[in-house]
A and B are shown apart, each in its own frame.
Chain A
Amino acid sequence: MPLSFEKPLGTKDVLPEKLILIREITAKSKDLLEKWGYEEIETPVIEYHQTVGLYSKIQEEKLIKFLDPTGKTVILKPDLTTPIARFVSSVYRDVEFPIRLMYQGKVYRNLGSHGIEEINQLGLELLGLENLEADAEVITLAVKTILKSTNSDFKVSIGHTKFLRLLFKEIGCDEIIENQLFQYLLTHDYVGFKDLVNKLSISDQYKTYLQKILKFRGDLNNILEAKSWFSTSDWHNVFHELSGLWEILTQYELADYVCYDLSHVGRQYYYTGLIYNVYCAGHPYPICSGGRYDGLLASFDRPAPATGFAINMDDLVRVIIKEQGPAYCQDKTLLIYSPKNRLPAIKRAEELRKQGKIVIMALENTVTENYIKGFGEIIKSS
């Protein structure tokens, strides 16, 4: 039986200092995204498992499932992109593409014995555009949103899902090997990856290629070497996109914030093109991730390309607190009054509040010395 002070494992209470900060950066971010034409929507906290649950990029075992009153299996939303795909394919079915939407809200993940993880997310989706301009716009907005809130050093690390898929195809890996290689890259086990590559019966040149991709990181020049490896048009298209994206991002003046990482692997069944993570100094794992998912909307019967990102606001707040200290708490005024001069006290307090002060009223002899210590100003109304 839970004890009275316990709450479900994994959940957190958010204290005022932190909540102020979350509200503040959320407001700043929304303001920015609105100016780019993104409209905010809110979707329900629960969705059907048969729809959103099955099509979400979040794995089955991470879903929180239960039954609704009619016995259908429902889930707490594990991400905000899948509900938006449902929304755009149903409620917004007749709304012309491109559609620009943003959201802010909580998502829930099942962490098994670690409980239920509740994450504050803010993100956007740009739906119905296939071109690089769309990818660049979304990456630009990820950078600009983060820049609005923090001066910490950060980098957007960009990969392309088609790069590895094509590479494995050209080299002629069978499916089992391919999945193993993907798995090693997904878990960042480069030692395992290299060992397996060495054991494969492929030419030495291909082995060198596979080893080299681990080093293809940094700006555009660091990755272009791979362009000449194969001459198929699919292969060249990938590099055409990588070069094109770099050019647009340079025009947006973002070259300092982005880098390529061709060994970057996303969830292969979900992402279909450019993908990225944002790493921020002082935070151990990515605070934002996103990419192109051209297959998702087809699951909801309105096939269309789409791209978007989500920022983990709790992580962003952690970065800001580390950088700037906890949120500034404004000084408060304590106004102490006696029952007979309540009326002038009320008037005085209103006056001060109009000046922008935070005023708390207390009847005399009802607050302790210790309580009074917390105030910037103490007024005794007489």
Chain B
Amino acid sequence: MLTIAIPKGRILEEANSLMIKSGIINEEVKEGRKLILDDQVDDIRFILAKPQDVPTYVKYGVADVGIVGKDVLLEWGEGLYELMDLKIGLCRISICGKPDKTCDRGEMPRIATKYPKIASTYFREKGQQVEIIKLNGSVELAPLLGLSHYIVDIVSTGRTLKENGLVELEQIANISCRLIVNQATYHLKNTVIEELVNKLEDGVRG
């Protein structure tokens, strides 16, 4: 049996249709209160998890495979095989802020974000030292309340930004969902993983 970890919510919806199209499952994985779902027919167990926890489950081998956004991998993913771009959950991670307000000359910019690692790596590579303020959600509040100059966050339609009077200033990376695999699984269940990848590749193409 193969265990797959998937985040709940929007990604699960898109993953469901991709997996059905690829012939991996016959019926949708239904999101409810139950967190472990066994698909007897297809011999697959699904773990429904918080997105940030998907790489952890896969890294420690309690799930063989996971479906997760690249944003999560950049921030929390290490020691995993990233095998495929599933082309779902499309969005981007960007630097955003108020259209007029910038930071005073010589002042160290403050960046509010859920992704401290992505933000600090990006600014470091740009050759700029910044102060990172870690928030856990509603990051758009930070520049509005004067807590930070900019934010680093996920942008998909840009509607939330617009409604809060913020603009996208600089794009850091394009984000999509990836197929990740545990190291030992990748080597010990070689044929099963190859088959899964082939099916998903067909599904993504078709």
Q: Give the interface of A toward B (CB within 8 A).
A: 153-155, 157, 187-192, 195, 217-218, 259, 261, 277, 279-286
Q: Which 7 A-B pairs have the closest CB atoms?
A: A284-B61, A279-B187, A188-B81, A279-B184, A189-B82, A191-B85, A285-B183
User: Does B94 interact with chain A (Cβ within 8 Å)?
Assistant: no
User: Does B139 interact with chain A (Cβ within 8 Å)?
Assistant: no
Known A191-B178, A217-B190; contact A280-B184, beta-carbon cutoff 8 A: yes
Chain B contacts for A280, CB-based, 8 A: 184
| Residues of chain B in range 37-85 having any CB-CB distance to chain A below 8 Å | 59-61, 70, 78-85
Beyond A279-B187, A284-B59, A285-B59, 13 additional pairs, beta carbon < 8 A:
A154-B188, A155-B188, A188-B81, A188-B183, A190-B81, A190-B83, A191-B85, A259-B187, A277-B187, A279-B184, A284-B61, A285-B183, A285-B184
Which of A189, A195, A218, A281 contacts B184, CB < 8 Å?
A: A281
Shortest beta-carbon distance, B30 to chain A, in Å? Answer: 29
Which of B59, B80, B82, B183 contacts A192, CB < 8 Å?
A: B82
Which residue of the partner chain B has the closest CB to A214?
A: B83
Q: Is the CB of A279 within 8 A of B188?
A: yes
Shortest beta-carbon distance, B205 to chain A, in Å? Answer: 14
Known A153-B188, A190-B81, A192-B82; contact A284-B178, beta-carbon cutoff 8 A: no
Chain B contacts for A187, CB-based, 8 A: 78
Q: Is the CB of A155 within 8 A of B187?
A: yes
Q: Is the CB of A191 within 8 A of B188?
A: no
Chain A contacts for B61, CB-based, 8 A: 282-284
Shortest beta-carbon distance, A98 to chain B, in Å? Answer: 31
Q: Is the CB of A285 within 8 A of B79?
A: yes
Residue count of chain B within 8 Å CB distance of chain A: 19
Scoring B residues 178 to 205 as 1 if CB is less than 8 Å from chain A, else 0, what string do you get? 1000111001101000000000000000
Q: Is the CB of B182 within 8 A of A284?
A: yes
| Residues of chain B in range 115-167 having any CB-CB distance to chain A below 8 Å | none
How far is B184's CA from A281's CA once the two chains are assembled, in angstroms? 7
Q: Is the CB of B184 within 8 A of A188?
A: no
Chain A contacts for B70, CB-based, 8 A: 191
How far is B188's CA from A189's CA once the two chains are assembled, in angstroms? 19
Which residue of the partner chain B has the closest CB to A261?
A: B187
Q: Is the CB of B83 within 8 A of A191?
A: yes
Shortest beta-carbon distance, A109 to chain B, in Å? Answer: 15
Which residue of the partner chain B has the closest CB to A286?
A: B183
How far is B187's CA from A192's CA once the two chains are assembled, in angstroms? 20
Q: Is the CB of B80 within 8 A of A188?
A: yes
How far is B183's CA from A277's CA once the two chains are assembled, in angstroms? 11
29 A-B contact pairs sorted by A residue (CB < 8 Å): A154-B188, A157-B187, A190-B83, A191-B70, A191-B83, A191-B84, A191-B85, A191-B178, A217-B190, A218-B190, A259-B187, A261-B187, A279-B184, A279-B187, A279-B188, A280-B184, A281-B184, A283-B61, A284-B59, A284-B60, A284-B61, A284-B79, A284-B184, A285-B59, A285-B79, A285-B183, A285-B184, A286-B183, A286-B184
Q: Which of A191, A281, A285 has the most CB of B within 10 A?
A: A191
How far is B85's CA from A157's CA once the two chains are assembled, in angstroms? 25
Which of A153, A154, A189, A279 contacts B183, CB < 8 Å?
A: A279
How far is B186's CA from A259's CA once the two chains are assembled, in angstroms? 12
How far is B180's CA from A190's CA once the two chains are assembled, in angstroms? 10
Shortest beta-carbon distance, B21 to chain A, in Å? Answer: 20
How far is B84's CA from A321's CA once the two chains are assembled, in angstroms? 34
Shortest beta-carbon distance, A202 to chain B, in Å? Answer: 21
Chain A contacts for B84, CB-based, 8 A: 190-191
